[in-house]
Amino acid sequence: MKRVQMRTFAKVLAVSAAAALALSACGRSSTTTPGAASTGSAAKSGFAANAVIGVALPQKTSENWVLAEGLFNKGLAAAGFSADVQFANGGVGEQQNQISSMVTKGAKVIVVGAIDGKQLGTQLQAAKDSGATVIAYDRLVLNTANVDYYAAFDNFKVGVLQGTALLDGMKAKKPNGPYNIELFAGSPDDANAQVFFNGAMSVLQPKITDGTLKVTSGQTAFNQVVTQGWKPENAQKRMDTLIAAHYGSTTLDGVLSPNDTLARAIITSVKQAGKAIPIVTGQDSEVESVKSIMKGEQYSTINKDTTKLVAETIKMIEALQKGDKPTVTDATSYNNGTKVVPADLLPPVIVTKDNAAAAYQGTSLEQYTK
Ligand code: BGC
Q: How far is the CA of 87 from the centre of ligand 1 (A)?
A: 14
* Strands 179-183 and 349-351, bridge-based pairing: unpaired
Which atom in ligand 1 lies closest to the alpha carbon of residue 191?
A: 7
Same domain, 264 and 320: no
Q: What is the DSSP string of 243-278?
A: HHHH-SSS---EEE-SSHHHHHHHHHHHHHTTPPP-
Residue 138 beta carbon below 6 angstroms from any ligand 1 atom? yes
For ligand 1, say whether the CB of 259 is within 6 Å of any of its atoms: yes
**CB 283 less than 6 A from any atom of ligand 1:** yes
152 has pLDDT over 80:
yes
Instruction: Report the nearest atom of ligand 1 relative to the CA of 62.
Output: 12
Q: What is the mean pLDDT of residues 166-189?
A: 97
Is 182 a pocket residue for ligand 1 (Cβ < 6 Å)?
Answer: no
Residues 6+ apart with CB under 8 A from 135: 109, 110, 111, 112, 147, 148, 149, 150, 151, 313, 316, 317
Instruction: Tell me: do 168 and 284 sit in the same domain.
Output: yes
Q: What is the largest CA-CA distance in the chain?
A: 67
Q: Which atom of ligand 1 sits closest to the CA of residue 258?
A: 10
Residue 330 pLDDT > 80: yes
Which residue range is the domain that position 71 belongs to? 2-153+305-346
Do residue 108 and residue 189 come from a single domain? no
State which of 11, 230, 301, 302 you would mutate to test the pocket of ligand 1, scoring each by most atoms of that ligand within 8 A of its C-beta. 230
Q: Give the torsion through C-alpha atoms of 291, 296, 300, 305, to 10 deg.
A: 20
Residue 45 confidence (pLDDT): 80
* Ligand 1 contact via 335 beta carbon (within 6 Å): no
User: Is the domain of 342 the same as that of 358?
Assistant: no
Split into its structural domains, the chain has a count of 2
Decide which of 30 and 171 is more confident.
171
Is the CB of residue 192 below 6 angstroms from any atom belonging to ligand 1? yes
Q: For 42-59, write each residue's pLDDT tens digit.
A: 445 899 999 999 999 999
Same domain for 241 and 290: yes
95 or 333, which is more confident? 95
78 and 186 in a single domain? The answer is no
List all residues 6 or more positions away from 259 whose beta carbon is below 8 Å from its beta carbon: 62, 186, 230, 282, 283, 284
Q: Closest ligand 1 atom to the C-alpha of 304?
A: 9
**Distance (Å) from CA 35 to ligand 1 centroid:** 26
Q: Is the pLDDT of residue 3 over 60?
A: no
Residues 273 and 322 in one domain: no
pLDDT in tens, 188-238: 999 999 999 999 999 999 999 999 999 999 999 999 999 999 999 999 999
pLDDT band at 319 (very low <50, low <70, confident <90, very high): very high
Q: What is the pLDDT of residue 356?
A: 85
65 & 137 share domain:
yes
Domain shared by 9 and 100, yes or no: yes
Query: pLDDT tens digits for 269-317?
Result: 999 999 999 999 999 999 999 999 999 999 999 999 999 999 999 999 9
The CA distance from 212 to 368, in Å, is: 35
Ligand 1 contact, 84 CB (< 6 A): no
Nearest-CA residue for atom 10 of ligand 1:
259
My answer on whether 299 and 309 are in the same domain is no
357 CA distance to ligand 1 middle (Å)? 22
Average per-residue pLDDT for the chain: 88
Q: How far apart are CA 5 and CA 98, in angstroms?
A: 32
Q: Give 177 Cα–ligand 1 centroid separation in angstroms.
A: 31
Answer yes or no: do 296 and 214 share one domain.
Answer: yes
Taking the complete model, does pTM exceed 0.85, yes or no?
yes
CATH code at position 255:
3.40.50.2300
Say whether both 178 and 32 belong to one domain.
Answer: no
**CA of residue 62 to ligand 1 center, whole Å:** 7
